[in-house]
């Protein structure tokens, strides 16, 4: 099993004497280490799978890990093995400890849209930007383990105090709905373990070996949960790379690497520096760039893949010219090397940059995929069905009730919901519960109330059956009873309705299959749905150029990469310097460079349109920081020469442009 592993990888897999940090550079085989270590624990050390937990950040990474483990141990039962995201593990803990968390086991998990809806109601007249800002502020408080009372007590100015009071109201609303948001799935277990030592001991006994992927992306709350679960035994392996810490904006704290050394004095550090992805030239540029950042741990990637193709840097007139140039260059490269479209990626700092490239790809009839597009579960028709599932699982879920009772239309409008809401507010109960109280009859029109109660009775019947009937058959029956297909074709154009109904059928088929494979009923499946961000439809198998932001590209690799818009103001972002985030922006550039296996092409624009105005642009300082082993071309003044000496001359020009502007 270990014959294909290099010495540091083998050492990391076999080390069981205490806490371990594996510093895994880009493309160094970190997933291989985690999966082989799990196999080693089970097969060589006779550890029960149920006592092992591998924790990662995305469903995709968890699935990939599960598949690899299964291949390493064919025919071996892995029943009880936990391979999940932080949030899935948190949801499992809260579900099983629901009583201690003052929740019912069928609590609802609200998505960002539902949470924004609650904040919108609480703020009444706020604009979308203000709602997003408040939502982000509450999320940061939760991830930093700051409760509403503390936020109110420590508020420094009126706006912060208003946000803290909103946070308190928001929390009360969630509890009334018997609901949690995504941040709660980590925060609640941490709070539970702090005040219920018996619950902590229970989970420490279950999960005796922890393996954490992408450790550098953990926030304060996630680190605390890891520390709690590890306990005094500290049998964990954290795998991460401080050079790829790019999520500070959503609470990730690279300082957690420092904390490991402080909190676990016996921590062993093993470095994985051999890169299995990229050529020497690409790695040299990446190493040279990242050396400009202060280092937590010294690390230098190397490869046996040969020197490789020259890195190219092309100066373009403007954004349209850049898109034309990149697509032309991509086509020529593909033809010359007889490659496939899936071998190519175009990566950028912000989503707004994609538009010009999409247009050129369409004009040239080149297939493409975009990372970070609309999630399958964010489609209106899927949210409609999901709301029914949430309501069947938890009748106190008011956001789900409001959507379900009005979709399809059944003569219940906003006036009815508002009247019922006023009564429910007075009684401090959910809308669903309020509808069945005698007191509601004096607040809500009799005809409308009868329609609401008929709807409620239907939900109750579904709930009773959901606990013991197959999910797929019950969903089919529910959709038929609702007349959802008919309503779609009555309310949408035929083509749109067909597409939406096909999505619903896909969703029902997927749920049915998942229920059979995991032996789960409809109630149990509902929380699973809330934790999945996208239904994979084999998009990865499509022969198409990949368009993605640098953040979305992390963890991916492509034979040929085009990094576009590499200019001051975009990368690093214009706000980064003022906010002291140049080091993180440099790490983002590093991530972009290290996505490339065989060839890397950079481009920047001499001018770019901002609104109706044109602004002059300068090449990013990061180009100069990559060293001088690059080919420069384009630009209005001259075509940069191809040899190394002339490259150095061009580099000197770049540095002259950037004089006095480099900070770390």
User: Which residues are known catalytic residues?
Assistant: 30-31, 213-214, 244, 595
CA 394 to chain centre: 26
SS3 175: helix
Q: Which of 484, 463, 481 is nearest to 407 (CA)?
A: 484
DSSP string, 297-351: S----EESS-S-SPEEEEEESSHHHHHHHHHHHHHHHHHHHT--GGGEEEEESSG
| d(C-alpha 372, C-alpha 354), whole Å | 12
| d(C-alpha 81, C-alpha 96), whole Å | 17
Instruction: Give the side-chain half-sphere CA count within 13 A for 46.
Output: 0
Contacts of 120-125 spanning 24+ positions with Cβ under 8 A: 122/166, 122/169, 122/170, 122/173, 123/166
First vs last Cα of the chain: how many Å apart? 43
357-373: b or e for each residue (b if 16 or more CB lie within 10 Å)?
A: beebbeeeebebbbbee
| d(C-alpha 659, C-alpha 139), whole Å | 39
Query: Is 628 within 8 Å of 578 (Cβ atoms)?
Result: no
| d(C-alpha 387, C-alpha 406), whole Å | 11
Q: Which helix (H) or strand (E) holds 605?
A: strand 596-605
Q: Quick one: three-class SS letters along 50-70?
A: HHEEEEECCHHHHHHHHHHHH
The sign of the dihedral angle between the CA atoms of 497, 394, 376, 525 is negative
Query: Is 281 within 8 Å of 309 (Cβ atoms)?
Result: yes
Query: Is 535 within 8 Å of 502 (Cβ atoms)?
Result: no
């Amino acid at each position: 099993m270990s014959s294909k592993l290099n010495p540091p990888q083998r050492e990391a897999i076999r080390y069981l004497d205490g806490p371990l940090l594996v510093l895994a550079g880009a493309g160094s085989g970190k997933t291989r280490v985690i999966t082989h270590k799990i196999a080693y624990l089970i097969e060589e050390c006779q550890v029960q799978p149920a006592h092992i937990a591998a924790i990662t950040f995305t469903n995709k990474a968890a699935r990939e890990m599960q598949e690899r483990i299964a291949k390493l141990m064919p025919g071996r039962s892995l029943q009880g093995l936990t391979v999940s995201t932080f949030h899935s593990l948190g949801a499992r803990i809260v579900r099983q400890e629901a009583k201690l968390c003052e929740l019912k086991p069928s609590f609802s998990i609200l998505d960002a849209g539902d949470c924004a809806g609650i904040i919108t109601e609480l703020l009444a007249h706020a604009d979308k930007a203000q709602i997003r800002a408040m939502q982000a502020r509450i999320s940061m408080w939760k991830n930093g383990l700051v409760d509403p009372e503390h936020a109110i007590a420590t508020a420094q100015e009126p706006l912060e105090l208003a946000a803290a009071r909103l946070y308190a109201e928001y929390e009360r609303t969630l509890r009334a709905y018997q609901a949690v948001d995504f941040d709660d799935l980590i925060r609640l277990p941490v709070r539970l373990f702090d005040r219920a030592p018996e619950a902590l001991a229970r989970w420490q006994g279950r999960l005796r070996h922890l393996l954490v992927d992408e450790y550098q992306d953990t926030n304060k709350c996630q680190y605390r949960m890891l520390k709690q679960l590890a306990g005094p035994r500290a049998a964990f392996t954290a795998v991460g790379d401080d050079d790829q810490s790019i999520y500070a904006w959503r609470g990730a704290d690279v300082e957690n690497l420092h904390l490991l050394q402080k909190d676990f004095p016996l921590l062993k550090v093993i470095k994985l520096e051999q890169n299995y992805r990229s050529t020497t030239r690409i790695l040299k540029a990446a190493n040279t760039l990242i050396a400009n950042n202060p280092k937590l741990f010294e690390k230098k990637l190397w490869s046996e893949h040969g020197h490789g193709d020259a890195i190219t840097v092309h100066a373009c007139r403007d954004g349209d010219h850049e898109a034309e140039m990149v697509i032309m260059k991509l086509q020529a490269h593909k033809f010359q090397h007889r490659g496939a479209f899936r071998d190519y990626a175009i990566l950028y700092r912000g989503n707004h940059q994609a538009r010009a490239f999409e247009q050129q790809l369409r004009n040239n009839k080149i297939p493409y995929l975009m990372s970070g597009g609309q999630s399958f579960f964010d489609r209106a028709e899927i949210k409609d069905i999901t709301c029914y599932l949430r309501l069947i699982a938890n009748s106190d879920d008011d956001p789900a009730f409001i959507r379900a009772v009005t979709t399809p239309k059944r003569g219940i409008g906003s006036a009815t919901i508002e009247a019922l809401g006023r009564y429910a507010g007075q009684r401090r109960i959910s809308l669903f519960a309020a509808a069945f109280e005698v007191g509601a009859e004096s607040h809500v029109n009799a005809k409308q109330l009868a329609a609401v109660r008929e709807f409620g009775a239907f939900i109750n019947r579904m709930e009773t059956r959901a606990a013991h009937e197959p999910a797929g058959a019950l969903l089919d029956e529910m959709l038929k009873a609702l007349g959802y297909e008919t309503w779609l074709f009555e309310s949408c154009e035929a083509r749109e309705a067909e597409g939406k109904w096909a999505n619903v059928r896909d969703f029902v088929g997927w749920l049915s299959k998942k229920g059979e494979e995991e032996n789960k009923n409809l109630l149990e499946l509902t929380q699973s749905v809330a934790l999945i961000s996208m239904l994979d439809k084999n998009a990865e198998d499509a022969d198409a150029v990949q368009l993605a932001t640098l953040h979305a590209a992390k963890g991916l690799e492509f034979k040929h990469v085009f990094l576009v818009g590499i200019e001051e103001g975009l990368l690093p972002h214009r706000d980064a310097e003022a906010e002291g985030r140049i080091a993180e922006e440099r790490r983002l550039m590093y991530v972009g460079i290290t996505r490339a296996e065989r060839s890397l092409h950079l481009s920047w624009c001499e001018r770019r349109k901002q609104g109706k105005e044109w602004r002059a642009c300068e090449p990013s300082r990061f180009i100069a920081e990559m060293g001088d082993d690059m080919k420069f071309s384009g630009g209005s003044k001259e075509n940069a020469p191809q040899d190394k000496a002339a490259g150095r001359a061009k580099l000197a020009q770049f540095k002259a442009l950037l004089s006095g502007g480099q900070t770390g």
